[in-house]
Amino acid sequence: MSGLSYLNDTPRRGFDYLIVGAGFAGSVLAERLAAGLGKRVLVIDRRPHIAGNAYDHHDEAGVLVHRYGPHIFHTNSQRIVDYLSRFTQWRPYEHRVLAVVDEQQVPIPINRTTLNALYGLDLQSDEEAERYLASRAEPVDDIRTSEDVVVNQIGRELYEKFFRGYTRKQWGLDPSQLDKSVTSRIPTRTNTDDRYFTDSFQQIPLHGYTRMFERMLDHPNIKVMLNTDYREIRHDIQHDQLIYCGPIDEYFDFCYGKLPYRSLRFEHRSLDQERFQAVGTVNYPDEGVPYTRISEYKHITGQAHPKTSITYEYPSAEGDPYYPIPRPENAALYKRYQQLADATPGVTFLGRLGTYKYYNMDQVVGQALALYQRIEQAQRESQEAPAEAEERLTHLAR
Ligand SMILES: Cc1cc2nc3c(=O)[nH]c(=O)nc-3n(C[C@H](O)[C@H](O)[C@H](O)COP(=O)(O)OP(=O)(O)OC[C@H]3O[C@@H](n4cnc5c(N)ncnc54)[C@H](O)[C@@H]3O)c2cc1C
């Protein structure tokens, strides 16, 4: 890997910051602290690579693939685009997803094309599609669960075709047991827009995510240590401040119990053909099919190659922590850990594992930049009134 400074031995001099996790949260903050404030930063990760879940690499066939499933960058924040553009050029890419339903492949989110294809209709306008969906909707008075959200919006039949099986596979729970926030993210459209996202900026790093992270971490004040768990080195590395982007419950030795996560098993396949499917991702809501979706990377990366590479996603209860399970009792458990974090000086929790919340990549970048601003401000104030600001510096995440 070019440019990065790897550390293989315990350093003699300490660091201003030890950052656990080389994903978006840790790497953005490391870059800012080093380049913006001249801090000496050590970034560690227990995986053998940087970039966290956004890690991409060329597989044996030479196709650029995402090891942890397809990562599509989309945002409405120009500030975040401007920041990341210091480290990468971009390639325009609008993600499209089809769902296999009733032996057809139809657009998801459900739109007018979906309804016409599924029911042999000829809805011509938004108004007609709106009336059609309204005629199927089954109003629910008190919307509390994911099932309520969808049935209320589009009725039970479409709910069962598109959401019930998919959600049961994805979460291992029936939508009636899941918080309404899970499906309130999924829009239904009456037009024919078949893009998965509608954000103003939809582009992916031209040479991949890992290359962008290499450039972000390529700074004389940043050292990187891979294959290193925080537990192995916590007593050996001198540091003033700790930024922890790993699971918050693990940091506290699971003292209140484990925060539940849903995991995924990725099955990567290289195929001796140029194309496998029509779009970047195809969803399989049918409960009889064990995987939830198949993604083909060449759609996303634009790479020309005689072979193609795809990934099947199998949801599972065991494995790396990917999705915090949004249920009230889990939020309450997280609150207890958060209170413990508030009472622990010198450590700040950041990122999706540190704050037990599903964030898109742009949101994590935003979270890291916001934390940096608070650190920078505290530092500025400490130059004016050192004692009070020192106190503030140790409790920045609150
Ligand atoms: C399947 C999947 C698909 C996704 N698709 C998208 C998408 O299309 N668009 C989008 O915007 N977002 C997507 N995301 C979300 C995206 O992955 C996250 O927003 C992003 O990874 C969060 O960055 P992070 O730094 O908080 O966490 P991570 O990327 O998970 O980085 C945390 C790092 O900390 C390390 N770590 C943890 N504990 C320790 C420890 N004790 N010692 C050392 N290292 C440790 C881990 O190894 C990991 O590398 C997807 C997520 C998943 C799971």
Q: In this predicted model, what pLDDT tens digit does every residue of 250-299 receive, in sequence order? A: 999 999 999 999 999 999 999 999 999 999 999 999 999 999 999 999 99
**Alpha carbon distance 164, 178 (integer Å):** 11
- Residue 45 has a CB neighbour count (10 Å cut-off) of 26
Q: Is 209 in the pocket of ligand 1 (CB under 6 A)?
A: no
- Residue 41 has a CB neighbour count (10 Å cut-off) of 27
In ligand 1, which atom is closest to the CA atom of 354?
26
Residue 283, CB-side half-sphere exposure with 13 Å CA sphere? 22
Tell me which residue of 274, 294, 275 sits closest to 284, measured CA to CA. Answer: 294
**Alpha carbon distance 64, 60 (integer Å):** 10
Instruction: Please choose from 73, 81, 361, 362 the residue to mutate so as to test ligand 1's pocket, defined by most ligand atoms within 8 A of CB.
Output: 361
Q: Is 53 in the pocket of ligand 1 (CB under 6 A)?
A: yes
**Is the pLDDT at 2 greater than 60, yes or no?**
no
**Alpha carbon distance 117, 110 (integer Å):** 11
Instruction: Please choose from 28, 44, 53, 81 the residue to mutate so as to test ligand 1's pocket, defined by most ligand atoms within 8 A of CB.
Output: 53
**Could you give the angle at the alpha carbon of 23 between the alpha carbons of 208 and 292, nearest 5°?**
75
In ligand 1, which atom is closest to the CA atom of 231?
41
**Alpha carbon distance 368, 32 (integer Å):** 9
In ligand 1, which atom is closest to the CA atom of 363?
19
Q: Is 21 in the pocket of ligand 1 (CB under 6 A)?
A: yes
Q: How remote is the CA of residue 280 from the centroid of ligand 1, in Å?
A: 20
Looking only at the bridges linking them, the beta strands covering 308-316 and 293-296 are antiparallel
CB 190 within 8 A of CB 133: yes
Is the preceding peptide bond at 107 cis, omega within 30 degrees of 0?
no
Q: Is 197 in the pocket of ligand 1 (CB under 6 A)?
A: no
Phi/psi at 198 (5° precision): -120, 15
From the centroid of its chain, how far is CA 330? 19
Q: Is 52 in the pocket of ligand 1 (CB under 6 A)?
A: yes
**Mean local confidence (pLDDT), 361-369:** 98
Determine the pLDDT at residue 386. Answer: 63
Decide: helix, strand or coil at residue 120.
coil
**Mean local confidence (pLDDT), 332-346:** 97
Q: Is 252 in the pocket of ligand 1 (CB under 6 A)?
A: no
Q: Is 249 in the pocket of ligand 1 (CB under 6 A)?
A: no
Q: How remote is the CA of residue 322 from the centroid of ligand 1, in Å?
A: 7
Report the CATH number of the 15-92+205-259+323-393 domain.
3.40.50.720
Domain ranges of the chain: 15-92+205-259+323-393, 97-177
In ligand 1, which atom is closest to the CA atom of 228?
43
In ligand 1, which atom is closest to the CA atom of 251?
41
Torsion on CA atoms 353, 357, 362, 365, rounded to nearest 10: -50
Q: How remote is the CA of residue 124 from the centroid of ligand 1, in Å?
A: 42
In ligand 1, which atom is closest to the CA atom of 27?
25
CB 332 within 8 A of CB 299: no
174: left (phi over 0), alpha (psi -120 to 50) or beta: beta
Per-residue pLDDT tens digits for 30-78: 999 999 999 999 999 999 999 999 999 999 999 999 999 999 999 999 9
Length of the chain: 398
**Is the pLDDT at 240 greater than 70, yes or no?**
yes
Q: How remote is the CA of residue 352 from the centroid of ligand 1, in Å?
A: 7
Residues 6 or more apart in contact with residue 46 via CB below 8 angstroms? 227, 228, 229, 230
Mean pLDDT estimate for the chain: 93
**Mean local confidence (pLDDT), 114-140:** 95
Beta-sheet strands, E only, within the chain: 15-20, 41-44, 56-58, 64-66, 74-75, 90-92, 97-101, 104-108, 201-205, 222-225, 239-244, 261-271, 281-283, 293-296, 308-316, 323-324, 347-349
CB 206 within 8 A of CB 89: yes
Confidence of residue 390 (pLDDT cuts 50, 70, 90): low
Q: Is 324 in the pocket of ligand 1 (CB under 6 A)?
A: no
Q: Is 211 in the pocket of ligand 1 (CB under 6 A)?
A: no
Confidence of residue 14 (pLDDT cuts 50, 70, 90): confident
**Is the pLDDT at 7 greater than 90, yes or no?**
no
In the sheet with 239-244, reading across from the earlier edge strand, the strands are: 222-225, 41-44, 15-20, 239-244, 347-349
Confidence of residue 12 (pLDDT cuts 50, 70, 90): low
Tell me which residue of 392, 369, 370, 397 sits closest to 380, measured CA to CA. Answer: 392
From the centroid of its chain, how far is CA 218? 23
| Inter-CA distances, 327 with 134, 259, 370, Å | 29, 11, 27
**Mean local confidence (pLDDT), 349-372:** 97
**Alpha carbon distance 322, 252 (integer Å):** 19
**Alpha carbon distance 145, 149 (integer Å):** 7
Tell me which residue of 368, 364, 353, 354 sits closest to 29, measured CA to CA. Answer: 368
Q: How remote is the CA of residue 382 from the centroid of ligand 1, in Å?
A: 33
Instruction: Please choose from 66, 71, 199 the residue to mutate so as to test ligand 1's pocket, defined by most ligand atoms within 8 A of CB.
Output: 71
